[in-house]
């Protein structure tokens, strides 16, 4: 996906560095969310930037997610609930929403409203996982119907798109762990959140099984009526065959394009990091020791699979990581501009 900044921010480039720069931010009354900590940061940083055009660009880009994409409220249980659209599409991607708020993480301790935004997004992401751990993008309300309702997969009410991307689940872990390590705040990690974590672990572990083990009717299949091969899965929605390697399957890349070989190496590397961060969080809070044990074992299995199957001898660059493998010897040597990448 394209980031929210590039999707929704249209800045006219000044004719020359001496031009007087007009702010392109929405009027204060039209901003979706205002953070005092972010506003102070903008003021402090722009004062230290000698180039006025760069200062102008920074002052418009840093708050764009807050200005244009955030809706903060409360769920039925009274917990903070934040929905972060990806830009010009009225849906929230798990990956994008984490990346969109990540630049504000170091500012949360000085801003109670920003703290609630992070709590709310952690709660919302966990609810999305409980709705469907295989979906990558969701609507704010369950009765919204979108363009992809005709996809040939098990679409649930409230799901915008159901492309299974391992890094989407990793993004949920990254946000929760990053928030806790930065703040020490554990208020979000209730029984509902733990159910979401259990579902994440079950999904990643289930997708370690090779296609020959999953049979003709795997848990997850996806087909789309489209002229673009990168927008759907081959083989009646199952994708190209793959065998057990220790890594976990990812049918789509962070770009939302289909993988060629379904063991996507950078997403699996991200899973190793996210799972080990999860183990640290659970152990420090003395929560769900069985989940911590499972996450630690899963991280070790994936790590070993990467080292055994994804390290490739290159004729020019010696040993490199493949981008994708299938366990049968099929490899893709490339990288992608999206995160995570090699």
Report the relative pairing of strands 318-321 and 324-325 from DSSP bridges: unpaired
- Cα gap 40→233, rounded to integer Å: 47
CB atoms within 10 A of CB 43: 10
Locus of tokens 């499972």 = 294
> What backbone torsions phi and psi does residue 145 show, to the nearest 5 degrees?
-120, 130
Q: How many CA atoms lie within 13 A of 308 on its CB side?
A: 13
- The two tokens of residue 126 are 């966990």
- Cα gap 223→72, rounded to integer Å: 34
HEC assignment per residue over 212-274: HHHCCCCCCCCECCCCCHHHCCHHHHCCCCCCCCCCCCCCECCCCCECCCCEEHHHHHHHHHH
DSSP 189: -
Q: Which residues pair with 73 in a beta bridge?
A: 81
pLDDT at 23: 56
CB atoms within 10 A of CB 225: 9
Element (H, E) at 64: helix 64-68
Please say whether the beta carbons of 86 and 122 come within 8 A.
Answer: no
Q: Please report, in tens digits, the pLDDT of each residue of the chain (342 residues total).
A: 333 333 333 444 444 444 445 557 888 888 999 999 999 999 999 999 999 999 999 999 999 999 999 999 999 999 999 999 998 899 999 999 999 999 999 999 989 999 999 999 999 999 999 999 999 999 999 998 888 999 999 999 999 999 999 999 999 999 999 999 999 999 999 999 999 999 999 999 999 999 999 888 889 999 999 999 999 999 999 999 999 999 999 999 999 999 999 999 999 999 999 999 999 999 999 999 999 999 999 999 999 999 999 999 999 999 999 999 999 999 999 999 889 999
Locus of tokens 């880009």 = 61
Give the DSSP per-residue string, 78-126. S-EEEEE--SSSSSEEHHHHHHHHGGGGGGGGG-HHHHHHHHHHHHHHH
CB atoms within 10 A of CB 171: 26
């Amino acid at each position: 996906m394209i980031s929210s900044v590039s999707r929704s921010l249209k800045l006219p480039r000044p004719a020359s560095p001496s031009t007087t720069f007009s702010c392109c931010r929405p009027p204060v009354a039209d901003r979706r969310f205002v953070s005092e900590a972010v506003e102070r940061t903008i003021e402090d940083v722009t004062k230290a930037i000698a180039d006025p055009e760069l200062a102008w660009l920074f002052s418009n880009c840093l708050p764009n997610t807050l200005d244009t994409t955030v809706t903060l409220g409360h769920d039925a249980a009274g917990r903070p609930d934040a929905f972060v659209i990806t830009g010009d599409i009225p849906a929230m991607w798990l990956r994008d929403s984490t990346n969109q708020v990540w630049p504000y993480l170091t500012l949360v301790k000085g801003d109670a409203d920003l703290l609630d935004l992070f709590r709310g997004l952690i709660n919302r992401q966990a609810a999305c996982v409980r709705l469907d751990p295989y979906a990558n993008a969701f609507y704010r309300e369950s009765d919204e119907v979108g363009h992809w309702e005709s996809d040939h997969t098990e679409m649930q009410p409230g799901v915008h798109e159901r492309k299974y991307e391992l890094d989407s689940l990793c993004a949920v872990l990254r946000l929760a762990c990053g928030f806790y390590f930065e703040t020490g705040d554990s208020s979000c990690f209730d029984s509902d959140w733990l159910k979401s974590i259990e579902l994440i672990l079950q999904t990643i572990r289930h997708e370690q099984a090779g296609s020959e083990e999953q049979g003709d009717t795997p848990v997850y299949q996806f087909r789309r009526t489209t002229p673009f091969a990168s927008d759907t899965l081959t083989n009646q929605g199952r994708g190209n065959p793959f065998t057990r390697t220790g890594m976990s399957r990812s049918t789509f890349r962070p770009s939302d394009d289909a993988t060629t070989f379904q063991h996507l190496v950078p997403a699996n590397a991200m899973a190793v990091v996210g799972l080990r961060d999860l183990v640290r969080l659970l152990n420090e809070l003395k929560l769900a020791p069985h989940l911590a044990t499972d996450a630690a074992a899963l991280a070790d299995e994936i790590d070993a699979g990467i080292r055994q199957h994804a390290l490739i001898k290159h004729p020019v660059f010696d040993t490199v990581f493949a981008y994708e493998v299938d366990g049968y010897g099929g490899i893709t040597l490339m990288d992608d501009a999206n995160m995570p990448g090699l």
